[in-house]
Structure 1
């Protein structure tokens, strides 16, 4: 054959190799979520790509048969196509026995370079850049090749499956989406500028609702403002004026004896109409939703939806009130910084290496703010004050501190026995000690 004939054959082989190379990368890199979206929009090619991804054995068998066959044929044709011409060009410069060897080596380098550049590197990079589009274009020809080579596919695929079973290696593709996968996608979206930081944080909060307890979002017991059945009208008006809220608990003698809840708007209407206010009036006090403190934020929201309520009392296993929670509290837990006024922020930066942290700040918020993966035995506490108490093994006092995760957590303000505020400072990397808990002697 002439040089032109050989070149045409080599170009055909390179084109065939391009097809198999692009098919291999496109199928492996095509995102299942995007393909499922295209399939739902009515593109039958996307459904065929998904089927190949679910059962890739036949596909990869055909790809390897094609690539190896083309590589062998390319070597044979390339050697016979280029070697005579290279030999003729070097005869005046190199004598035998080196002439034949050098001609073969140069012919091998030319053919290999063509296949690496044009048949392998370039198509794979193109397929990696737009995998779904390439997969949709090539799925038809690849399906035809699989049917055409069915006998060979059956033999090689059967042998490969037998070896995998012998070695106990799974052959099915695991497409299960985990929470870590979703977080990774959100991180990638934030880095690409598709999501801003607050949007990313809000989405992460939504996924964390199933693991964060309702106690992390409630108003704690010691901060509750409530009415007693025995309160007269002046006491009720004073409490509303000092701590205005939409609803108030009504108790009999003590907080844990709950009689119901009263709406401040109804009290206001009575005041406007010149009527007296007494909590012993059954028309004022309404039934109150009570939920256990073991619920998560997600379960609490489900409770509110099922009972068409927006206010609930949180009780522990001893039937003691530990706090109250509203739909606004749950919304704030999801919206994060978007729903907080500056005065409500629980973590305030003093400078780039120190922060003031409210003692009742949920431990999940502290983890997020300081990039700490996990706190030790975090199932035993819910707030940063609880972490201090757990680590110190006592009721904290001022100047008590714990070094953990590259930060120093120091108690700076105590209200009775309650940790009111902590100072968190970053420990220099070169001076980072192991986990340390220090107490005042």
Structure 2
């Protein structure tokens, strides 16, 4: 039963019966068929190791993956991984050569099978085995496994990198010409690997709800625009450039801000940013110092468009060493301001400091079972997540106030309410320009229609 000829004969009979043809009497294999399998098997194994090495050197998490090694072994390996792009291209080319070589060496053996259905079946079986190794080994390397065999192939790849250098350089040039950005590809690979690690950790019970939500927010960050995170124009605390230091210090104490935008004439003409720490050293000079204009002690403002992605903005603010950016619209007008804290809160959630109400979020407060009070500027997506709600989201609004204004067609007054998807939204505080506070109560199961009450 273990004879390959018997197994192939049974497979031939099955495939022939399915095809409605007469099966051959026996399946004849070349007498040296077992020796002919060594070369393709070896090439597939080498190709899988090359794929694993390529995954390792191209991974943004390779330093974390190498933590599985001993300190001595890691010290030996890391100097050989200083040029990941050429090394990864070389490993990729060697992997492709191994795959083509395995297919070519299998061709004489498989074409010797006369039954066409069985020949196709064997091709599929060989392809599945090859895919198991060629895709499985890199996947295991990404999880910090099989590093020993993969790193053992590193000297061979380094040696073959020299004769393959012209092809590697040519491929790098082509990738650059067609607009392939290695940094962007690395960022996408990092997000994919974080997703895999998060899924594995969640299945094994090592990842809690908070950690899972934080990782989900990291994935959403590149698709989140600055306009979705900023403090809007109507809520900006700012000061005129002709105000005195005494006035701006009083405003900073009252509002609890250490960085305040400075404008000339109106908010559409922001000319700088006042940093409280820049004037602390001169406070001992007393009254003469406090009468100085704030315009003499401000820093250059950093302007960003509304459509700038939060991940790119975070990187830019870190490189420029600025903590506050002014968000402008397409006409150059001020739309809002955004701080490093705002961006960090997109990942870790609301951060309460000494100026926030103790023990509660500044924008959402639970007042009873199934009942909350929210600020009109509270984002709908965050409300749906924190309150387990299903309020509709739309490209024309982002906040609770925006939903109400969209459904009513005007700015609703206090006391007006709206039922939507099992929730009752009642306006508690509003004026002729905005909805300031809304009470939300659970009314029953979610319904697709919304009615004004």
Q: Is 1:294 matched up with 2:307? A: yes
Q: Is 1:384 matched up with 2:393? A: no
1:310-362 CA distance string (max 9 Å, x none) = 21111112322221111111001111146676343433333442222221112
- What SS does structure 2 have at the residue aligned with 1:245? coil
Cα distance in 2, alignment partners of residues 187 and 208 from structure 1? 16
Cα distance in 2, alignment partners of residues 322 and 250 from structure 1? 15
2:249 to 232, 237, 250: 237
Q: Is 1:428 matched up with 2:440? A: no
Cα distance in 2, alignment partners of residues 248 and 335 from structure 1? 24
Cα distance in 1, alignment partners of residues 279 and 374 from structure 2? 37
| TM-score of the superposed pair, with normalisation by structure 1 | 0.57
User: Would the alpha carbon gap of residues 152 and 369 (structure 1) be closer, same or farther in structure 2, given more than 3 Å must change?
Assistant: farther
* 1:224 positional shift: 1.8
Alignment-derived partner of residue 357 in structure 1: 374
- What SS does structure 1 have at the residue aligned with 2:211? helix
Q: Is 1:325 matched up with 2:332? A: no
Alignment-derived partner of residue 226 in structure 1: 238
2:305–2:330 contact (8 Å) kept in structure 1? yes
* 1:380 positional shift: 0.7
Q: Is 1:255 matched up with 2:271? A: no
* 1:283 positional shift: 5.1
- What SS does structure 1 have at the residue aligned with 2:372? strand
2:113–2:119 contact (8 Å) kept in structure 1? no
Alignment-derived partner of residue 419 in structure 1: 435
1:408–1:426 contact (8 Å) kept in structure 2? yes
Cα distance in 1, alignment partners of residues 365 and 248 from structure 2? 35
* 1:309 positional shift: 2.0
2:110–2:122 contact (8 Å) kept in structure 1? no
Note the 1:31-430 alignment, pairs <5 A. 40=56, 151-152=112-113, 155-156=116-117, 186=198, 189-190=201-202, 192-274=204-286, 275-277=288-290, 280=293, 284-337=297-350, 342-371=359-388, 375-376=392-393, 378-415=394-431, 417-429=433-445
- What SS does structure 2 have at the residue aligned with 1:222? helix
User: Would the alpha carbon gap of residues 236 and 214 (structure 1) be closer, same or farther in structure 2, given more than 3 Å must change?
Assistant: same
* 1:260 positional shift: 0.6
User: Would the alpha carbon gap of residues 246 and 281 (structure 1) be closer, same or farther in structure 2, given more than 3 Å must change?
Assistant: closer
- Aligned residues: CA RMSD: 4.8
Residue ranges of structure 1 left out of the alignment (5+ in a row): 1-5, 18-31, 60-143, 163-172
1:392–1:437 contact (8 Å) kept in structure 2? no
Cα distance in 1, alignment partners of residues 192 and 424 from structure 2? 29
User: Would the alpha carbon gap of residues 178 and 433 (structure 1) be closer, same or farther in structure 2, given more than 3 Å must change?
Assistant: farther
* 1:236 positional shift: 2.4
Alignment-derived partner of residue 84 in structure 2: none
User: Would the alpha carbon gap of residues 248 and 196 (structure 1) be closer, same or farther in structure 2, given more than 3 Å must change?
Assistant: same
Cα distance in 1, alignment partners of residues 53 and 417 from structure 2? 52
* 1:297 positional shift: 1.5
- What SS does structure 2 have at the residue aligned with 1:257? strand
Cα distance in 1, alignment partners of residues 265 and 322 from structure 2? 25
User: Would the alpha carbon gap of residues 346 and 157 (structure 1) be closer, same or farther in structure 2, given more than 3 Å must change?
Assistant: farther
2:421–2:450 contact (8 Å) kept in structure 1? no
Q: Is 1:437 matched up with 2:417? A: no
Residue ranges of structure 2 left out of the alignment (5+ in a row): 12-47, 57-64, 67-90, 124-134, 140-187
* 1:405 positional shift: 3.2
Cα distance in 1, alignment partners of residues 114 and 438 from structure 2? 67
1:332–1:339 contact (8 Å) kept in structure 2? no
Cα distance in 2, alignment partners of residues 323 and 306 from structure 1? 21
Cα distance in 2, alignment partners of residues 185 and 407 from structure 1? 36
* 1:410 positional shift: 2.4
